[in-house]
Amino acid sequence: MSIARSDGRVQPARAGDPKRVGPYRIIGRLGSGGMGTVHAGLDPAGLRVAVKVIHPGQAEDSEFRARFRREVQLSSRVHGPCLIPLLAADPDAENPWLATAYAPGLTLDQHLAAHGALTGGTLYAFATGTAQALAAIHAAGVVHRDVKPQNVILTPAGPRVLDFGIAHAADGTSVTRTGVMTGTPGWISPEHYRTGTAGPESDMFAWGTLVAYAATERLPFGTGAPDVVAYRVLSEEPDLTGLPEELRELLTKALAKNPAERINAEAAAKECARLLARQATQVLDTAAGPDPTRIDGCLTTEWNLPSTEDPAWSLPTRRRRQHVLMTAVVTAIAVAAVSGGIVFYSSGDRADGDLASDHTSPPTPSTEIPAPNGASAPTGSGGPATATPAPEVDPRTIKIPKDPLAGITNPAYTRSGDETQPFPEEWRASATADSAAERNAEKTIRDRMTSMLATKDMNYMKPTITFNQRAQTVMVTGGPVPQLPETQQEVFRRAGEMAACSALAHRLKDTPTTWPYGRYSVYWKTSGGDLDATALGFGEATDGCLSTTAGHWHGDDAGMATAEIPSSDKAEIRVADSAVKAIVATWNTNTAETNEAPLAVDDGISLGFDPVENAAYVWTDDPYSRFTSRASQSNLTSAAEEAVCRKLTREFHSNKSWLYTRWAVAVHDSYTGTRQFIGSGTCPS
């Protein structure tokens, strides 16, 4: 999300701004843009963070929300020098948000407007730091896609690249559905103009432009009408006059028309480091490779920007901060338990701990959140701690880890982010499990699907699990079953996607350098024969299937359709019967002093279960039009939540095979003739 910052200083909050986002107390604004607002926040320890909250209009777009979630996961992988670490995010909040370490200072374009071009050691330090940042981003399998002056902050400790990955989710430069090129002329690579694609090579083209712009205050291909600039990018050589000769040679490689001829980020970082060391010492042997420790010192030494202090942050005193640090973990646990949706990431990058102007490194956040039964808790890393026995973890506990491939530089799965659906030929070429790991995954997927389907008396749907290593895809196939109801085929799809996604994500997390499967596809055989099948669904195991408790869960039509299929599980039948009676009793108790008419058990209240998302659905066809007003719908939601959660929680603690912790309520909409969801959520432990 590329959001303009005013000058890095805290601006007053505006009417309607949140007082708190996740565990962060909001004290003002840092900037805003078309996609969201950046708030200045303090964590429980009083350390400074930038909290970016998506605008409500964007949050209502399910496709944007899915892209935002995906980019958060990609960004959580990236750690390295001159980056601003992602600390926490909740893509499933009502208004999705993410938090990063706060970086004081002006963006590059703001600095150039106020102070002019970068020169001498500062210029070489800028080139080195930004190249190192891109090298770390690319090593994690991520493409920035929006390298430009607004996304580089010049902090007192050096340059910091921000919005890696997230920028693409919000306003990335790409070809839109209508084929219209978006992006800023002058920062778009030749291959992006030609094909609409942007890879690491495009980032390096933008890096060359960035460094040239920092040194000369002009774009290598000039300005003007977009088509004129595009012609220059595609056909003319860049104008690099005014640059030091050795740096000009390097940027010429970065700005090559052919992406295959372009220097990569790692090589550029090494070459810039060598030039930086020469600036610092003037005696470094050009044939010798730079010493990393010495180069880090050179970058800091040669970087010549003053520190700034903004009194608006109103940090607590040191004594107060020490006390707050002692209680920060407890506070974080409480906040996470209330919100149920914050995903914390461990930055693993102590080099960026000096981004706050008090130069205090924030404690490493947790990578887990308590599941509905509260089995796990965050831990800090602020210093030595007394070892305590790990609590016994309920096997049903759902942990919320980082992206399964977070921090892995050379994963066996290489198609991360590839949204191309598998071809029918790839399904036909898939084979049965060959290795022990494949057989283990096959059993995990089949067992999970079988348990979900069994509750709906759909045991006859026997899934076949096959593997296509070239496509890095696991195929889940069912059928053919004559005259199968469409609703049951949909249940098979949902069960297959959930089981495969979870199984593959765990494999990616546990054995990332050897497990090559990160994609899954669900098929249904037609009656035409074994070589004919219809694709029902497709997805990637890194798309958040492990984070099934993150955010506020919402019921949907697919879950409702599954819940309407009668259950064959005795425990589900028993709980459903008692829950309906409890809803009626709770309604009658809660509305005894209002004008609401009492309910009876046979007044059309129904309850069913969706084993795919572990949710209980309550619905009524409202034959007497009792639930048309907001007040009556609110009363019904309250009664259902109270009664259903009481029953689900009791069963959860007494029955180790019980997985249901969510609830949703729907009523008949007389205007559309369909059901309208009026409430949903996750039961507290």
Burial of 382 (0-12, 13-18, 19+ CB in 10 A): middle
CA distance 589 to 576: 20
- Helix (H) or strand (E) holding 195, with range, is helix 190-195
3-state secondary structure 484-544: CCHHHHHHHHHHHHHHHHHHHHHHHHHCCCCCCCCEEEEEEECCCCCCCEEEEEEEECCCC
Q: Which residues contact 108 (CB under 8 A, 6 or more apart)?
A: 149, 150, 152, 153, 154, 159, 210, 213, 214
CA distance 617 to 114: 59
Q: How far is CA 415 from CA 405, 411, 421, 562, in A?
A: 12, 10, 12, 32
CA distance 622 to 569: 27
CA distance 198 to 145: 6
* Amino acid (one-letter) located at 672: T
Work out the widest C-alpha separation in the chain, in whole angstroms.
90
Q: How many CB atoms lie within 10 A of CB 242?
A: 12
Question: In the beta sheet, which residues pair with residue 608?
Answer: 617
Q: How many CB atoms lie within 10 A of CB 217?
A: 14
Secondary structure (3-state) at 38: strand
Burial of 525 (0-12, 13-18, 19+ CB in 10 A): middle
Catalytic residue among 146, 163, 543, 610: 146
Q: How many CB atoms lie within 10 A of CB 528?
A: 9
CA distance 331 to 45: 10
CA distance 446 to 435: 16
Residue with tokens 């010549």: 304
Residue with tokens 């009524």: 620
Q: How far is CA 421 from CA 62, 194, 536, 545, in A?
A: 20, 23, 11, 18
- 434 included as an active-site residue: no
Closest by CA position to 302, among listed 121, 442, 480, 117:
121
| Catalytic residue set | 146
